[in-house]
Amino acid sequence: MIKFDSVSAAFFGAQSRAPGDKYLSGLHSFLSQDKYGQLLLSEIAIVKSSQIWSIYATASNEITSLKRVPKYVDILDDWVTKGVSWPLSTARSGALALPLLVILQISPGMSIYQGIGIDRCGLEACPMNANEAVPGA
């Protein structure tokens, strides 16, 4: 039998609805102040600055036909680079769903690994689960 001195685990919660404006604003604030959060934001910002969408659109007529995706790339980029959260909180698109879900799933782990609660890192008492209501919202 193997004996472990410590246990490590990751838990990912289901997202039944998109996070609100206040949660995204607080999340951006947290990520902007955390060294790993800054790295995450900078990697996401590459999507627009690298012109990756243009490369995909040039390679496939099916992708070219998705005319609204560049708008959603701009919305995500505005949140990542400027913290503009309202458009991201109201946009409903599959083009945003996966990137946003990844951000929402990774971010709480960042504060857990630091050994502190995310609500003490600039999220203004926002719950760790973006599906829960924000107090005062």
Q: For every one of its 137 residues, what pLDDT tens digit does the chain have, with 9 covering 90 and above? A: 556 566 555 555 656 677 899 999 999 999 999 888 898 899 888 888 877 878 888 888 888 888 888 899 899 999 999 999 999 999 988 888 888 888 888 887 777 666 654 444 444 444 444 444 433 33
User: Distance between terminal CA atoms of the chain?
Assistant: 50
* Domain membership flag for residue 38: yes
Between CA 87 and CA 125, with CA 34 as vertex, the angle to 5 degrees is 65
* Domain membership flag for residue 1: no
Output the CA–CA distances (angstroms, integers) from residue 1 to 4, 5, 6, 9, 114, in the order listed.
10, 13, 15, 20, 31
* Domain membership flag for residue 5: no
Residue 102: both structure tokens together? 């990844």
pTM: 0.69
Q: At 44, which helix (H) or strand (E)?
A: helix 35-49
* Domain membership flag for residue 14: no
Task: Say how far apart CA 121 and CA 68 lie, in whole Å.
Answer: 34
Report how many domains make up the chain.
1
Q: At 76, which amino acid appears?
A: L
- Radius of gyration over every alpha carbon of the chain, rounded to an integer in angstroms: 17
Q: Look up residue 19 and give its DSSP letter.
A: P
Task: Say how far apart CA 100 and CA 106 lie, in whole Å.
Answer: 10
* Domain membership flag for residue 126: no
* Domain membership flag for residue 44: yes
